Amino acid sequence: MTELRTDATHEGTPQLSTQPVEVTQAEFGIVGWLRWVWRTLTSMRTALILLFLLALASIPGSIFPQRGSNPIKVNQYIIDSPTVGRFLDKLGMFDVFASPWFAAIYLLLFVSLAGCVIPRMIAHWRILRSRPPAAPKNLSRLSDYRTLPMLAGESAADVLGLAAAHLKKSRWRVDAQEFDGQTGWVAAEKGYARETGNLLFHMALLCLLAAVGLGSLAGFRGTVIVREGSSFADTRSQFDSFQPGRLFDDSALPPFTFTLDKFTADYQRGGQQNGAAREFAAKVTVRDEPGAAPYGKLIQVNDPLDIGGVKTYLVGHGYAPTFTIRDPKGAVVFRDTVVFLPQDGNYTSTGVVKAPDTVPQLGLTGFFLPTAAVDQILGPHSTFPAPDDPAVFMSAWDGDLGLDSGRPQSVYKLDTSHMQRLGIKAMRPGESWTLPQGHGTVTFDGFKLWSSFTVAHDPGQGWALASAIAAITGLALSLLVRRRRLWVKVSTSPGGGTVMEIAGMTRSEHASVSDDVEALATQLVGRATSVPMQ
Amino acid sequence: MVNVTLAEFSNRFVYAAMVTYTIAMITFAVSMAATRGRDLVPAAAVPAEGQSGGVAVATRVETTVGGPNDGALPPGRRSANIAMSITWLATLLLGVGVLLRGLSVGRVPWGNMYEFSITSAFAVSLAFLILSLKRDIRWLGIFVVVPVLLTLGLAVSVLYTDAEQLVPALKSYWLVIHVSAAVICGGAFCVGAAVTMLFLVADAGERRALAQKPYMLDWLARRLPPAASLDAMAYRIHAFMFPLWTFAIVAGAIWAESAWGRYWGWDPKETWAFITWVAYAAYLHARATAGWKGRKASVIALIAFGCFLFNYFGVNLVITGLHSYAGV
């Protein structure tokens, strides 16, 4: 009721007198407030605070595992400490650089930057087209002020002309006022590139952000494991994992294929860094498109395969043992080369073999060891990454693999909930294991290597590089170029006769114009010899 | 592949350099102790006679090179000159050590933390010596030699690794470009931080002297150039280094693109390089912000250097990421 009444009284009060006031107040209030927000946002102090926040906000990204680079570690972290993990996850600590609060900081920073830079660009554009400012009345207040003697029989115009010519030759922007009997001057300015560079740098940062955005929207990234002798075709279904940008179109995938012919790895033997990798190379045969002529290529760690901007990088490798399973009558029921995943630097690898066509179904799980060793603490493990003494340690299970349940299964895990263990066996290449209870035999035929590749395309990359180069150029200009002004003034002194004064000024931090004044003075003092020659 | 004899010689030269640097450090210290300090209160601001209780005894401001020379060197000058000569010798020895290390493995000598450290130490001393040819910076000597010695000490004791070939990820010409830029930045940021700290000491000394208050580091402040010129020098170093640091990061990004398939992936090393960059950017902005000039800006520069150090030691030794390579 009261509200209604106040509303009513509001309406009822003399509108003509109050409303305009109210409206202007409200408008002024909002406009004024917006202006205040804009001014605060674009102030250097705010930029400084935002820079601090940006640095601070990046720190958790280096402390906690990040989904973008290591999703497995993130999952492990949440499994290990569920309460803390889930809490951190809610805060976005595992996706720091994609989190809304991180985006808020850098977007505010870039708005602040644009608000600061654009008016300065307009102002700088005006300055670039204007003349150097006229000589101040009192040059002697400026730094590096000095007076030079006039020569006998020399006119003020001669001196000013000489000064202007010298300054123009040294690439100064020059303006002059002819000697009018009382005074005349030459004004010169140099170092506009400082502000140009400063603005270029900040604009380049905006472009860099746009390029990063373009890359993540229109690019893609996929990973695939390829065994020696196997092939890969560049279509989405062939990838083990595929992360397209929101605007990515599958037709952008060039239809190339390649076969991994051979993977070679070389390791250091002996010394402090025993076992450290020295050389990885994947020899592949590539076809740019179906039916095209094949060609060989060596993909190495710093040397990707590049097909129309889509690059294939060598990112990892491992071992894939070959197993043959025969039924009790000797008929082959399973033969495959199975990818095992490395668990440590010596390539102790674990993997799973699933034979769904045997009755009952068979599963094998265990280790592949390139250089086999067994001890009490570590169990079966590898002591060197190269296959010096390869062996597998497998345990066999029979029962239901659970493949028919319809639930998706990892090829690297054996669901043993409906299986029972038959036994465990170590085998060297070529050895066979006769399974108990008349289940047939398992043969470890040998092994191949596999390589993992990342296939990626980032359409923003070229723009990002161009922006970065522009940013560095701008930075160098803005921090190394000095903006400075020089004046030469000739005037009649109160006591008669003419006085020549020169002085300089700089607004760049901790810079001096002494050397410029010195050079000009030297030139002007030396005119005694140069004037007659003209 | 690895020439063990050359690597062995390299180690000996590094040790010899350390001994020589130690002698240089002691000589610089002796020189500093012998130097007469300057008066911290500018002549115009000296209060009327009889009121100068608590203010250090006024001594003549020492003129730098080019001043009138009456034959006798001012106290501490001769030992400073000797210290400079010893530093030249030490740097030469270290340079040979770094060179032999590179020759022993047939590549650039910055493939691991040990090599990066000794090369950085060499870069710092060389930069200091080259700069000393142009201007009188003998007062800075001890503040360069001490971090150089600390770096070398850490390198030979904690970070040492035998001379070996590189892991495949490091086999790229970008190792030459990216890491050499980082080496130079590391050295210069170190000197920048030293000068910044000295600025803070000199500035505090001058303020206290003006307010006639006692100051614990008065003895040091009086032996330093005026705070304003230290501030200018610190700014110049940082302003020169910031574009180079940006270049180092960009070069690293280009390398990352060819090695890992993305130019930026927020790997811990990348993240801290970014944090360092942002911190130095904040320093440069602070200098242009009212109320942040001088002391506050200097503190930001020191924080930025702390970020750089963490990126080198913390990220390499504590956090695992793509930049973790065999044997530190």
Question: Cβ contact (<8 Å) for B265 and A68?
Answer: yes
What is the model's pLDDT at position B71? 58
What is the model's pLDDT at position B36? 80
Interface contact A300, partner B, CB < 8 A: yes
Same domain, B153 and B196: no
- Cα three-residue angle A438-A444-A447, rounded to 5 degrees: 160
Residue B56 lies in a domain: no
Contacts of A67 (CB under 8 A, 6+ apart): A74, A94, A95
Measured distance CA(A307)–CA(A232) in Å, rounded: 14
Measured distance CA(A525)–CA(A522) in Å, rounded: 5
Contacts of A348 (CB under 8 A, 6+ apart): A342, A367, A369, A380, A381, A382
Same domain, B153 and B203: no
Going by C-alpha positions, the residue among A341, A342, A310 that lies closest to residue A454 is A310
Going by C-alpha positions, the residue among B178, B173, B257 that lies closest to residue A461 is B257
A340 near A321, Cβ under 8 Å?
yes
Q: Which residue in chain A has the smallest CA separation from B282?
A: A48
Using a CB-CB cut-off of 8 Å, the residues of chain B touching A471 are 246, 250
A157: number of Cβ within 10 Å: 13
With a cut of 50, say whether residue B52 has pLDDT above it: no
B145 near B25, Cβ under 8 Å?
yes
Average pLDDT score, chain B: 86
Instruction: Return the DSSP state at A371.
Output: B
Using a CB-CB cut-off of 8 Å, the residues of chain A touching B235 are 509-510
Interface contact A279, partner B, CB < 8 A: yes
Among the partner-chain residues A301, A476, A509, the one whose CB lies closest to the CB of B243 is A476
Measured distance CA(A7)–CA(B142) in Å, rounded: 78
A258: number of Cβ within 10 Å: 25
Decide which of B122, B140, B165 is a domain's last residue. B165
Is the ipTM of this structure higher than 0.90? no
Question: Cβ contact (<8 Å) for B278 and A58?
Answer: yes
Same domain, B155 and B181: no
Using a CB-CB cut-off of 8 Å, the residues of chain A touching B166 are 278
What percent helix, strand, coil does chain A show, rounded to 5?
40, 30, 30
**Closest-CA distance of chain A to residue B27, Å:** 32
- With a cut of 70, list the residues of chain A below it in pLDDT: 1-28, 152, 508-510, 527-534
Measured distance CA(B110)–CA(B67) in Å, rounded: 43
Question: Which tokens is A63 given?
Answer: 């402390």
Q: What is the pLDDT of residues A144-172, one digit of tens each?
A: 888 888 776 778 888 888 888 889 988 89
Per-position DSSP letters for B222-250, written without gaps between them: TTS--HHHHHHHHHHHHHHHHHHHHHHHH
Question: Cβ contact (<8 Å) for A304 and B258?
Answer: yes
**Dihedral angle sign, alpha carbons of residues B15, B17, B20, B26:** negative
Same domain, B151 and B2: yes
Residue B62 lies in a domain: no
**Closest-CA distance of chain A to residue B37, Å:** 25
Using a CB-CB cut-off of 8 Å, the residues of chain A touching B242 are 475, 479
Which amino acid would we find at residue A429?
P
Residue A96 buriedness (CB in 10 A; 0-12 / 13-18 / 19+): buried
Same domain, B181 and B159: no
Same domain, B111 and B221: no
- Cα three-residue angle B111-B116-B122, rounded to 5 degrees: 135
Residue B64 lies in a domain: no
| Residue to substitute from B171, B277, B308, B310, interface A, most A β-carbons within 10 A | B171
What is the model's pLDDT at position B77? 86
Q: What are the b/e assignments for A281-294, b being 16+ CB within 10 Å?
A: bbbbebbbeeeeee
Decide which of B126, B146, B165 is a domain's last residue. B165
Chain A with chain B: Cβ pairs closer than 8 A: 140
Using a CB-CB cut-off of 8 Å, the residues of chain B touching A62 are 266, 268, 271-272, 275, 315, 319
Interface of A with B in 306-325 (CB under 8 A): 311, 313, 315
Using a CB-CB cut-off of 8 Å, the residues of chain A touching B263 are 458, 461, 464-465
Question: Cβ contact (<8 Å) for B232 and A510?
Answer: yes
Q: Which residue in chain B has the smallest CA separation from A459?
A: B262
Question: Which tokens is A109 given?
Answer: 């920073």
Q: What is the pLDDT of residues A194-219, one digit of tens each?
A: 999 999 999 999 999 999 989 889 99
Going by C-alpha positions, the residue among A201, A194, A129 that lies closest to residue A507 is A194
Same domain, B139 and B187: no
Which amino acid would we find at residue A407?
R
Question: Cβ contact (<8 Å) for B243 and A480?
Answer: yes
Which amino acid would we find at residue A187?
A
Contacts of A437 (CB under 8 A, 6+ apart): A398, A422
Residue B214 lies in a domain: yes
Measured distance CA(B186)–CA(A293) in Å, rounded: 50
Question: Which tokens is A435 given?
Answer: 């399974």
Decide which of B112, B141, B165 is a domain's last residue. B165
Among the partner-chain residues A69, A280, A509, the one whose CB lies closest to the CB of B235 is A509
Residue given tokens 């300065």 in the structure block: A120
A443: number of Cβ within 10 Å: 18
Contacts of B168 (CB under 8 A, 6+ apart): A277, A278, A279, A280, A300, A301, A302
Domain range A142-190+482-533, CATH architecture: 2-Layer Sandwich (3.30)
- Indicate where chain A has its CATH 3.30.310.80 domain(s): 142-190+482-533
A518: Cα within 13 Å, side-chain hemisphere:
4
Domain around B303: 172-328
Residue B70 lies in a domain: no
Q: Based on the structure, what is the number of domains in chain B?
A: 2
Residue B73 lies in a domain: no
A336 near A321, Cβ under 8 Å?
no
Interface contact A304, partner B, CB < 8 A: yes
Question: Cβ contact (<8 Å) for A277 and B272?
Answer: no
Residue B71 buriedness (CB in 10 A; 0-12 / 13-18 / 19+): exposed
Same domain, B286 and B182: yes
Measured distance CA(A27)–CA(A23) in Å, rounded: 6
Same domain, B125 and B243: no
Measured distance CA(A349)–CA(A369) in Å, rounded: 6
Same domain, B146 and B178: no
Peptide bond into B109 cis (omega under 30): no
Interface contact A70, partner B, CB < 8 A: no
Question: Cβ contact (<8 Å) for A301 and B168?
Answer: yes
Report which of residues A156 and B251 the model is more confident about: B251
**Closest-CA distance of chain A to residue B213, Å:** 29
Residue B177 lies in a domain: yes
Instruction: Return the DSSP state at B178.
Output: I
E strands in A115-213: 143-148, 173-177, 183-190
What is the model's pLDDT at position A492? 83
Q: What are the b/e assignments for B105-123, b being 16+ CB within 10 Å?
A: bebbbbbbbbbbbbbbbbb
Same domain, B245 and B208: yes
**The dihedral formed by the CA atoms of A6, A8, A9 and A15, expressed in degrees to the nearest 10:** 130
**Dihedral angle sign, alpha carbons of residues B315, B318, B321, B327:** positive
- Helix extents (H) in chain B: 4-34, 77-105, 113-134, 141-157, 174, 180-210, 218-221, 227-260, 268-286, 295-309, 315-317
For A456-459, the CB contacts below 8 A with 24+ separation are: A456/A219, A456/A220, A456/A221, A456/A222, A456/A310, A456/A311, A456/A313, A456/B261, A456/B262, A457/A219, A457/A220, A457/A252, A457/A309, A457/A310, A457/A311, A458/A215, A458/A219, A458/B262, A458/B263, A459/A214, A459/A215, A459/A218, A459/A219, A459/A309
Using a CB-CB cut-off of 8 Å, the residues of chain B touching A211 are none
Phi and psi torsions of A67, nearest 5°: -60, -40
Q: How many residues does chain A have?
A: 534
Residue B147 lies in a domain: yes
Interface contact A409, partner B, CB < 8 A: no
**Closest-CA distance of chain A to residue B77, Å:** 28
Residue A463 buriedness (CB in 10 A; 0-12 / 13-18 / 19+): middle
Phi and psi torsions of A223, nearest 5°: -125, 150
Measured distance CA(A234)–CA(A224) in Å, rounded: 10
Going by C-alpha positions, the residue among B137, B130, B127, B100 that lies closest to residue B115 is B100
**Closest-CA distance of chain A to residue B278, Å:** 6
Question: Cβ contact (<8 Å) for A469 and B250?
Answer: yes
Same domain, B144 and B246: no
What mean pLDDT is predicted for residues B235-239?
92
Q: Which residue in chain A has the smallest CA separation from B172?
A: A302
Measured distance CA(B210)–CA(B203) in Å, rounded: 11
Q: Which residue in chain A has the smallest CA separation from B228?
A: A510
Question: Which tokens is B28 given?
Answer: 């610089």
Residue given tokens 């000996």 in the structure block: B12
